[in-house]
């Protein structure tokens, strides 16, 4: 047993099912010849710290939790200055990114993909603001509903799954806030009032598949961008909601496009979510695609191939 693996997991993610699967997961790693170091996270930031400080002797870093846990692992990977293949065992409430990569929902099967699959070079996002830089794996968003995921209590998420986001968000429709934004990408520039914006590298958001557009690829070097205009009346708002539910992004109520880089300037600070976690409040952000920035373990049949 000469291969080393770092396994970071969130014991509270999803319905905390990993506590009943942990021994079997470690057994799968051991049978594949890995000597595993196990790190259960206790608080926000633990996963990023563990990965950023890891030894280069580890041949693979595996994480289990929600998309926020994966975000931390990728953040730690970037901070460390060197890349190691990442295995992901989804265990959160929605697991948008895991679904986009066709990873099994069954945790043991996902563990088998980690040891038997192959590396998939996947795009990630660079999120620059106020001379600082963060990273995200599959979504950066502002506006309507974006604070729901990090304000909804974990036990509510565990019981309701992605419905927790919807139910919590519906309470806020009577107090929709718009943001005056100047957006620039490639040779384009628009200035308008928006209630919501998302920059994604995923086939689903909040458990809703295909809401980010058609023919989404995870390694093409571009993001799918959706900016939803401020509705002038309840009828327009209803039309927007119906467009989202019907996955119809070709509408005059929103801008929908692909780009490798986007600059957004706000008249006042806007709160952001990065992979479902709070990303701070900012008046200007520059979002760039890091093409094939990390290697994720996937099934032998690669996504979108």
Q: Looking at the structure, do residues 177 and 101 belong to the same domain, yes or no? A: no
Q: Looking at the structure, do residues 95 and 157 belong to the same domain, yes or no? A: no
What does the pLDDT read at residue 232? Answer: 79
**Short-list 202, 185, 74, CA closest to 138:** 202
If one counts the domains in the chain, the total is: 2
Q: Looking at the structure, do residues 112 and 133 belong to the same domain, yes or no? A: no
Mean pLDDT by 10 residues, the chain (305 residues): 91 81 96 97 95 97 92 96 96 78 93 97 95 91 69 51 52 73 97 92 69 79 92 76 68 88 96 88 97 95 51
What does the pLDDT read at residue 250? Answer: 65
What CATH number is associated with residue 91? 3.40.50.10330
**Short-list 176, 236, 237, 169, CA closest to 205:** 169
For residue 218, being part of any structural domain is answered with: yes
For residue 123, being part of any structural domain is answered with: no
Q: Looking at the structure, do residues 144 and 226 belong to the same domain, yes or no? A: yes
Q: Looking at the structure, do residues 105 and 150 belong to the same domain, yes or no? A: no
DSSP labels, 57-126: T-SEEEEEE-HHHHHHHHHHHHHHTS---EEEEE-SSS-HHHHHTT--SSHHHHHHHHHHSEEEEEEEEE
Indicate the SS3 state at residue 150: helix
**Short-list 212, 239, 60, CA closest to 141:** 212
What does the pLDDT read at residue 160? Answer: 44
Q: Looking at the structure, do residues 168 and 269 belong to the same domain, yes or no? A: yes
Residue where a domain stops, chosen among 83, 116, 149? 116
Q: Looking at the structure, do residues 61 and 144 belong to the same domain, yes or no? A: no
Residue where a domain stops, chosen among 89, 116, 143? 116
Handedness of CA 201, 206, 212, 213 (dihedral sign): positive
Element (H, E) at 236: helix 234-245
For residue 91, being part of any structural domain is answered with: yes
pTM, full prediction: 0.84
Domain with 262, as residue range(s), is 128-293
Q: Looking at the structure, do residues 135 and 280 belong to the same domain, yes or no? A: yes
Task: Report the distance separating Cα 3 and Cα 134, nearest Å.
Answer: 31
Residue where a domain stops, chosen among 65, 82, 116? 116
Is 23 in contact with 17 (CB distance < 8 Å)?
no
Q: Looking at the structure, do residues 147 and 217 belong to the same domain, yes or no? A: yes
Q: Looking at the structure, do residues 177 and 286 belong to the same domain, yes or no? A: yes
Is 66 in contact with 97 (CB distance < 8 Å)?
no
């Amino acid at each position: 047993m000469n291969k080393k693996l770092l396994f970071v997991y969130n014991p509270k993610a999803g319905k905390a099912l990993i506590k009943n699967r942990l021994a079997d997961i470690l057994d799968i790693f051991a049978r594949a010849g890995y000597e595993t170091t196990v790190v259960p996270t206790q608080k926000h930031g633990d996963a990023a710290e563990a990965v950023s400080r890891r030894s280069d002797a580890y041949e693979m870093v595996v994480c289990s939790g929600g998309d926020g846990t994966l975000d931390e692992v990728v953040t730690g990977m970037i901070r460390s200055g060197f890349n190691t293949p990442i295995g992901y065992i989804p265990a959160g409430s929605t697991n948008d990114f895991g679904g986009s990569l066709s990873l099994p929902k069954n945790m043991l099967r996902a563990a088998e993909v980690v040891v038997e699959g192959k590396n998939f070079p996947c795009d990630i996002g660079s999120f620059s603001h106020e001379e600082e830089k963060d990273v995200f794996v599959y979504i950066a968003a502002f506006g309507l509903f974006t604070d729901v995921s990090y304000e909804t209590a974990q036990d509510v998420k565990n019981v309701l799954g992605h419905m927790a986001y919807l139910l919590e968000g519906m309470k806020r429709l009577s107090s929709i806030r718009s943001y005056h934004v100047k957006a620039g990408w490639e040779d384009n520039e628009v200035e308008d009032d928006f209630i919501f914006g998302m920059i994604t590298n995923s086939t689903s958001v909040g458990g809703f598949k295909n809401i980010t557009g058609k023919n989404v690829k995870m390694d093409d070097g571009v993001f799918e961008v959706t900016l939803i205009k401020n509705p002038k009346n309840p009828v327009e708002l209803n039309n927007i909601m119906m467009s989202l539910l019907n996955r119809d992004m070709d509408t005059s109520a929103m801008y929908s496009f692909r780009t490798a880089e986007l600059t957004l300037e706000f008249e006042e600070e806007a709160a952001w979510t990065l992979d479902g976690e709070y990303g701070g409040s900012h008046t200007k952000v520059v979002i760039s695609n890091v093409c094939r920035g990390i290697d994720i373990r996937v099934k032998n049949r690669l996504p979108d191939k």
